[in-house]
Amino acid sequence: MNREWLEKDFYKELGVSSSATADDIKKAYRKLARDLHPDKNPGDAKAEERFKAVSEAHAVLSDTEKRKEYDEARRLFASGAFGRGGFAPGGGYAPGGFNGEFNLGDIFGGAAGGGDGGLGDLLGGLFNRGGGRASTRPRRGSDVETETTLGFREAAQGVTVPLRMTSPSPCTTCHGSGAKPGTSPRVCPHCNGTGVISRNQGAFGFSEPCEDCRGTGSIIDDPCVDCHGTGIQNRTRTITVRVPPGVRDGQRIRLAGQGEAGLRGAPAGDLFVTVHVSNDKVFGRTGDDLTLVLPVSYSELVLGTTVSVPTLDGRVGVKVPAGTADGRTLRVRGRGVPKRDGTSGDLLVTVKVAVPQKLDDDATEALRNYADAEKAGGFDPRAGWAGA
Ligand SMILES: [Zn+2]
Ligand SMILES: [Zn+2]
């Protein structure tokens, strides 16, 4: 049903272009509504059909928000986005973790509107608003928010973590139908299973949720005793979440279909995990670059050396060239935080002189000799400094 609506061309229905202004739409609608009004065309089923179609088109296009969603839905529909796996409800994940090719854009709730529950959701948002048009579709389960704290290195490298959650799940006794095993819900005779009651008031028809079945379209005579007919049970479950490499502190990961169960077998909501990343003693992070401060001696900076430094993945030898200034940052390409495209950021090594607090006699004497030699050699650390 929703899909049908999506395939309708509301602009064509009103005879306006898709770039029509709100005023154009209002004018076109008024004229058509006058011409097609049932009072003016008694017994003309075709005119009545058109009148309804025009009213429907106007209801969506005259509402800025709805029109925006409709345009977006049609744009996506035209581009074939709905045909691909990424938009299938629950696509890209398997219970107990992701299957082989999970979609990063998807789980990071990417830029493209975060394609929530897919087609149904998009249209649900479009057509269920305001309660005027209740859907016959059972309501999708709620989204669930949770959080987890990862170690710095886990977050940078990616990790699989178990998340324990108590949340409503489909009742195992009735498999979410809400009806006692061996029985099944029957179609609501009051609304014929549509969940809505249409009423006519003057020339205008409107619908409201059916009271007998509370909008679900079905009636349960013999409720399941374990879930009292709701189809839902509270269950503690542990799900394994694969956190991809490179996740940042505060980032939210979306797991499609891992949220609350829907009422009576409706699709489950999504699970959103906010990730906190703890600090590391050695490493820091700037975007995808890994940073660290490397303690060195003065003589190492002057003479140059190669120092073994840790990375997320083993150690690497970093060459400190002779004459390196204190505080300089050396870049080791590709040894930073893994990126989504499979490459990695860089490792940024900042050298910092460690000054000895105590020297033995030999070292002190050697340093004094060095200081004299330095002076004799013409080195003045303050040459050109502060007007000297
Ligand atoms: Zn049950
Ligand atoms: Zn009903």
Residue 312's CATH number: 2.60.260.20
Element (H, E) at 281: none
Torsion angles phi and psi, residue 206, rounded to 5: -145, 165
Q: Which residue has the higher pLDDT, 19 or 291?
A: 291
> Please, are residues 42 and 36 in contact by the beta-carbon 8 Å criterion?
no
Q: Tell whether residue 251 is among the known ligand binding residues.
A: no
Q: Which residue has the higher pLDDT, 248 or 92?
A: 248
Same domain, yes or no: 258 and 307: no
Ligand nearest to the CA of 233: 1
Amino acid found at 28: A
- Across the chain, where does the E strand assignment appear? 144-150, 159-170, 186-187, 196-201, 204-209, 218-219, 232-243, 252-255, 271-277, 284-286, 289-296, 305-310, 315-320, 329-332, 347-353
**CA–CA dist 13, 70 (Å, integer):** 14
> Please, are residues 233 and 183 in contact by the beta-carbon 8 Å criterion?
no
The answer to the question of residue 119 being in a domain is no
Number of domain units in the chain: 3
Same domain, yes or no: 236 and 340: no
Q: Tell whether residue 108 is among the known ligand binding residues.
A: no
The answer to the question of residue 133 being in a domain is no
Ligand nearest to the CA of 232: 1
Q: What is the pTM of this model?
A: 0.48
Q: Which residues pair with 246 in a beta bridge?
A: none
Dist. CA 188 → ligand 1 center (Å): 19
Q: Tell whether residue 313 is among the known ligand binding residues.
A: no
Dist. CA 182 → ligand 1 center (Å): 12
> Which domain, by its residues, includes 38?
3-77
* Overall average pLDDT of the 9-36 stretch: 86
The answer to the question of residue 330 being in a domain is yes
3-state helix, strand, coil in the chain (%, to 5): 30, 25, 45
Same domain, yes or no: 271 and 299: no
Q: Tell whether residue 172 is among the known ligand binding residues.
A: no
Count other C-beta atoms under 10 Å from residue 32's C-beta: 20
Position 152 confidence tier, pLDDT thresholds 50, 70, 90 = very high
Residue 31's CATH number: 1.10.287.110
The answer to the question of residue 138 being in a domain is no
**Residue-wise pLDDT tens digits, 183-197:** 988 999 998 888 888
Dist. CA 177 → ligand 1 center (Å): 7
**Residue-wise pLDDT tens digits, 233-245:** 887 878 888 888 8
Ligand nearest to the CA of 197: 2
Dist. CA 170 → ligand 1 center (Å): 8
Q: Tell whether residue 53 is among the known ligand binding residues.
A: no
Amino acid found at 254: R
Same domain, yes or no: 243 and 304: no
